[in-house]
Structure 1
């Protein structure tokens, strides 16, 4: 097993693209859905692939369009380009609506383009779907582990409800922008939630699958790189389970920020909990905190000394309303049943 560094050369383009995306769709015509496209393998459907349905939507779309995905196993890479905001992907259940692809890090494509699901624009909703990258998961004879992304989320104002993300290394690339993950399942071992999204994970089940009993994995690799950067991962409730051992996070960049509140930690969590990832002497810049967590892995007596203690006012800054919903964008989304 190898621990690969994440490619960083695209970061300037990433920020430019992000702000471009913000300007495309400030509004999607309210809470109403303009029309629905149905995708399925058989029966009365509009398209047989999800990508064909996305391709049919006009550029610079300004009204909510729902793509209803019938239960099935879809082997394809799904890409929502930046000029197509206001899209809802609706599965029938994450256990039987599965999008799978098998790709992995290589030169020159890097990590970011390997995702089974790649979403660039603002205003995207996905519900009741499994996004899986099977490269490191299904091939049990593959001794060489590479980053293999199940989903890459670039766009601001993205809501993911009851979705599953299955991979091993770099499962969920939470790149940048405000993202709300609710009642989701996330599986992996190495840096399997990574990036610099300004993201809130509510009631999510995190499963750390330990293949190598001699090496502890990492749930997060958060990449905030300045004190004024809004990025960070907040986990509210939910649980971390699994086998082997896993750290809560390591600092991809020097101002890495991750908060767990009211989360249940199984014994899979290492005693030290966190790793500086080579940022020796910069640990005071991190914001790593565990507040009111419980379970056998929540004992903080042997944690690294540079975790933060948050008072009630500081914790309030990381509430759903304060951290990602100050402009009430979540209140203006179509109702997802």
Structure 2
């Protein structure tokens, strides 16, 4: 068995050393090493180059470092019929929930309002509405969305959820499909996007969506958007417009149409836009190696891969 690492933005050598220790007796190579493409049976990949799969004629499985696989599915050299397993472990999921909870709480506590008061040296005692009077709507009710809901429940937020297909979650008002999307938005103060990126969800965070969110919530400062999904979900020109004209009170963005976010993006200058550099749920080297080493061992023994992607759905 030979494993190839193809990891943009990561130290391939360090990851390779981890896999070599976890898979004794198996060959582990990086793009910088000499190897025969025909001997590669597994590829561990993130942000693939256009020719990432060229010559890999004996692949048994594709292992995605990220939970999102939209870049993989668009790759022109992606081979048909090879299963794709995406990274969905507890560590990554909990990191995402940590991000969502931190951002939601910050906005519910009127951080932008008080930051502006501080800069103006204004002492004005405005008491934020409590969590239980604030509705948080989660777009995407898979593993990430349901875990975020579990954490938000502890703080007492009014919770709403929207997904492609109908789901029932205790203590959550759920909506499904395009026909219920507007009703979901109309009762949401803080909109959290954790959807997979598909043809149907591309650009879903747009001005029309923002204008349908609940008005007058969060003490009149305007609704909030938190995007920790994919950059392709949002239309950044629409975000700038909505954050400037009051359609949105604030936004927290961890992902962008182009990454790194270009220096000339107007988002940088908006004091009601909170930018993080795609770190909401960074994959851990320790847990990633353990997760996929076990996946390879299990698959070699005839057991199924974890979190296999449905290519027709896109996740």
The answer to whether the superposition gives a TM-score over 0.5 is: no
Which structure features the higher share of strand residues? 1
- TM-score, normalised via structure 2 length: 0.28
Structure exhibiting the larger radius of gyration computed from Cα positions? 2
- TM-score, normalised via structure 1 length: 0.26
Relative contact order, higher structure (CA 8 A, sep 6+): 2
